[in-house]
Amino acid sequence: MRIIIVDDEMLARDVVREYLSEHADVEIVAECANGFEAVKAITELSPDLVFLDIQMPKLDGFEVAELAGSKTRYIFATAFDQYAIKAFEFHALDYLLKPFSQQRFDQALAHARANLGAGGEAVEKMVREAAGRNKPLGRVLIRDGAKVHVINAEKIEHVEAQDDYVQIRSEGKSYLKNQRMSELEEQLDGQQFLRIHRSYIVNIAHVARIEQATKDSYVAILKDGGKLPISRSGYQKIKTVMQ
């Protein structure tokens, strides 16, 4: 079994490494001290299992799982978030509450061995539910090859639907994210972002004014001069907000 250890605390990584030394059938292929290193290592090395700390700076464990995808399976570890643990215990392969013993660690590893053959649906569901519980999103993560873009939600100007993707416009740049529009809409702050059209969500703070385009249609004029179409239902919503 090929394993990656992810924790920002060196002592915590040492503990996991020591516990794994009791198991001859495992190979530690990487150790990572932060979420960015973890995403890169998981993507490049495709381990069977990742011991993943939840509380980390820059990217937390759930964000790492979102970016790295569902092919890899995870055992989460945390010293703090017991409420989240209860929510995830049926979705992640297992969780470890720090400090954990060799016996508890071995139980988690045995559970992982028994379930590695299962598909990644549980992890995908866990990631979706994590995003739902953490809404409204404070930031959006976008994976671009080996790069990871972290965009503050308040700096998003608008979002455009493109099939199973969304194109996010922020500070003059566009980013493509593999996510459905309806899912992102649920995660964004409804007081700040409005679905003004089937294909568009707009940040109200970036709307300069509303103009009538034709007899029966309107457009949102953005502060950067851009224009977004507004549906009839979208017009009723934004008209109320812009008054």
pLDDT for the residue 90: 40
Number of other residues whose CB lies within 10 A of the CB of residue 152: 12
pLDDT at 62: 84
User: pLDDT at position 242, please?
Assistant: 81
User: If you average pLDDT over residues 67-82, what whole number do you get?
Assistant: 81
Q: What is the pLDDT of residue 126?
A: 56
When pLDDT is cut at 50, 70 and 90, the band that residue 200 belongs to is very high
Q: What is the mean predicted confidence (pLDDT) over 82-91?
A: 54
Paired tokens of 138: 């404070």
Mean pLDDT to the nearest integer, 137-145: 83
25-34, 124-133, 135-144, 145-154 — which is least confidently predicted?
124-133
Mean pLDDT of 235-243: 87
- Whether the CB-CB separation of 157 and 169 falls below 8 Å is answered with yes
Q: What is the mean pLDDT of the chain?
A: 87
Split at pLDDT 50, 70, 90, the class of 23 is very high
Contact status, residue 61 vs residue 39, Cβ threshold 8 Å:
no
- Of 23-27, 157-161, 183-187, which range is least confident? 183-187
Q: What are phi and psi of 203, to 5 degrees?
A: -80, 115
Report, as an integer, the average pLDDT of 88-112: 84
Which domains, ranges and CATH numbers included, belong to the chain?
2-133 (3.40.50.2300), 139-242 (2.40.50.1020)
Full-model pTM: 0.70
Degrees, nearest 5: CA angle 29-34-35: 90
User: What letter does residue 204 receive in the DSSP assignment?
Assistant: G
Sequence-separated contacts (24+) of 181-187 with Cβ below 8 Å: 183/128, 183/131, 184/140, 184/159, 186/132, 186/135, 187/131, 187/132, 187/134, 187/135, 187/136, 187/137
| The two structure tokens encoding residue 79 | 């010293």
pLDDT in tens, 26-71: 999 999 999 999 999 999 999 999 999 988 888 988 888 888 876 7
In the chain, % of residues over pLDDT 90: 58
Q: Does 194 or 129 have the greater pLDDT score? A: 194
Tell me the pLDDT tens digit for each residue of 114-132.
887 655 555 555 555 555 5
**What per-residue confidence (pLDDT) applies to 87?**
46
